[in-house]
Structure 1
């Protein structure tokens, strides 16, 4: 049986997988970036939960990260389109089908990465905050 945390991260990855960009989870940056772009979901940190008693519940603001990467001639437009599609996907279902109380992406932190002998990469980390509760921090 999957934990609440793993179920939520899997659901987020499934949502990202429907985008034209290739969506990976926890993988290393491949040698080639697909034409439509690349998204890598990182599990991130659940952080310190708020705890309520009676009934016992742990309330997390889990910070996952999505690495967005493009490599093409019109990097700026492709990058903007990729980030906007991630935002639209998250906004379309802010509870991931009822698994979370709320999901919210933060602004991307873009960087240009030089690649020797190839077109530069434009990449960013998009922080995603997952608000959820569970009865056990290990469940």
Structure 2
């Protein structure tokens, strides 16, 4: 049976997979970026939980990361559109079907990355904070 953390990350991956971009989880950057863009979900860090007693609960603010990568002549527009679509997908269900208390993305800091012999990439990491509680830090 998957842990609470894995269940939430899988639900986030599923939510992102509904977008037009190719969505990977924990993979390396492929040689080619698809025309619709590429998202790579990184598991991130759960951080130190706040703990409440009676009943014992661990309250996390887990910081996952979504790497957003686009390439091509209209990369600025494609990047902006893809980021807006990520925001809309998260806003549509801030609890990921009741698995989280709250899901919130932070603003990206885009960079242009030159590629020898090809159009440059526009990329950013979007931190996503997943607020959830569990009875066991390993469960």
In which range does the TM-score fall when normalised by the shorter chain? over 0.9
* CA apart distance, 1:56: 0.1
In the other structure, the counterpart of 2:23 is 23
TM-score, length basis structure 1: 0.99
Aligned to 2:81: 81
Give 1:134's aligned residue.
134
For 1:136 and 1:49, the matched residues in 2 are separated by: 11
Distance 1:27 1:44 in 2: 13
Q: d(CA) in 2 for partners of 1:109 and 1:134?
A: 31
Runs of 4+ in 1 over 2 A off after TM superposition: none
Q: Deviations over 1:47-91 (max 9, x none)?
A: 000000000000000000000000011110000000000000000
Aligned length: 139
Q: How does 1:108-123 map to 2 (within 5 A)?
A: 108-123=108-123
Query: How far is 1:109 from its partner?
Result: 1.2
**Which residue in 2 is equivalent to 1:51?**
51
Secondary structure at 1:78's aligned position in 2? helix
Gap regions ≥5 residues in structure 1: none
RMSD: 0.3
**TM-score, structure 2 normalization:** 0.99
